[in-house]
Chain A
Amino acid sequence: ETGVTQTPRHLVMGMTNKKSLKCEQHLGHNAMYWYKQSAKKPLELMFVYSLEERVENNSVPSRFSPECPNSSHLFLHLHTLQPEDSALYLCASSQDFNTQYFGPGTRLTVL
């Protein structure tokens, strides 16, 4: 266990559904991240939150909407996704010297 939990672990949704991914870190870190991992592609950084403020948004489509209500929780709201959005979504947290601690991921399948 790394101290970062993600729910749900698996999610299947249709293109018209709205769902949310949840991440919680129990490490007292002040930064949280969303990554997308697709087959045969490098890990893609989607969003970075530092001190609950979004500091990075790497040209992610608006159908992905992050929310960071406090330093321990991070959400990724999903709406009108496409089949190519199917991937493993990883949450991570860090403090200071950029060693990141990852959650187990949510395996998302968009039908």
Chain B
Amino acid sequence: SQQGEEDPQALSIQEGENATMNCSYKTSINNLQWYRQNSGRGLVHLILIRSNEREKHSGRLRVTLDTSKKSSSLLITASRAADTASYFCATDASYSGAGSYQLTFGKGTKLSVIP
């Protein structure tokens, strides 16, 4: 079964508002990542948070991790129309070999920011 599950599946907000997306997972992890995907394009890495970290910031992004609840949240502050995209969390489910890890992605949250 998939490791990461994002919630909500879709989110629509007005420009300037904050957007919060959640991710839950099932097994222990070394780290959790968030990726963004514009429609029909490749994924872009946003931020990585390690299992021993509780919060991390990058520009307008804030990620929290609660390993006791096996959950993470991504907050985008002061949203812009350009933030419209799908957002995925990914957990490192298994180690596949030298320098490579298998990531498991959720189905994503589709964010629409209305100008």
Contact = CB atoms under 8 A, between A and B. Distances in A.
Given A88-B40, A96-B99, A107-B40, A101 B2 contact: no
A49 B90 CA distance: 19
Contact of B45 (A53, A95, A99, A107): A99
Interface string A24-61: 00000111010000001111010011110101100000
B48 interface: yes
Contacts of A96: 99
Interface of B is mostly: strand
Contacts of B107: 40-42
Given A30-B99, A50-B99, A55-B96, A42 B42 contact: no
Given A42-B107, A50-B99, A98 B92 contact: yes
